[in-house]
Amino acid sequence: MNPRRKKRLLVIIAVLFGIGGSIGLVLYALQENINLFYTPSELIDGKGPNKEKPHIGQKLRIGGMVVPGTVQRNEQSLKVSFDLIDTGPLVTVRYQGILPDLFREGQGIVAQGILIEPNVIEAFEVLAKHDEEYMPAEVAEAVKGIKHEKPKYNLDSGS
């Protein structure tokens, strides 16, 4: 092989390794930013056919109903603790900050945070639904066990 071809081959191999390394680093960084959605039952019992549970330190979203009588507020700070439930076990959510105006006991919420114990989430964001009828599709599906479908209208009756 002449020196010119050998040099080209080395440059092509170096470029391929550089591209491969860059793709690997991007995929690793994106893996850290994935927020999976869980219900309290899925968090405790596992999700999917393999019953996979999230690991301590993982970022996730959890949705459920705030259990009445479990909201505890710290008098000196903005720390709040409350329990979530769907159809099974309870999960405790700890949050420091101002809760949404619509947050109340017995209402559905979605919290984003980090799993710090098998049944405790340290939330950095809490979202509350905006009215009695609305629930995000994935929360409704998980809590009620039914798929979210758009309502069917009867065009003949005028409604």
Per-residue model confidence as pLDDT tens digits over 13-66:
999 999 999 999 988 887 766 668 888 888 888 887 888 888 888 888 998 888
Q: How many CA atoms lie within 13 A of 16 on its CB side?
A: 6
Residue 150 scores a pLDDT above 80: no
153 CB contacts (<8 Å, ≥6 apart)?
A: 159
Query: For the whole model, what pTM was predicted?
Result: 0.63
Domain extents in the chain:
1-33, 36-144
For domain 36-144, give the fold. OB fold (Dihydrolipoamide Acetyltransferase, E2P) (2.40.50)
Q: Find, among 62, 93, 69, the residue nearest to 80 by Cα.
A: 93
Distance, in Å, from the CA atom of 68 to the CA atom of 107, rounded to the nearest integer, reads: 9
Q: What is the pLDDT of residue 159?
A: 44
DSSP bridge partners of 108: 65
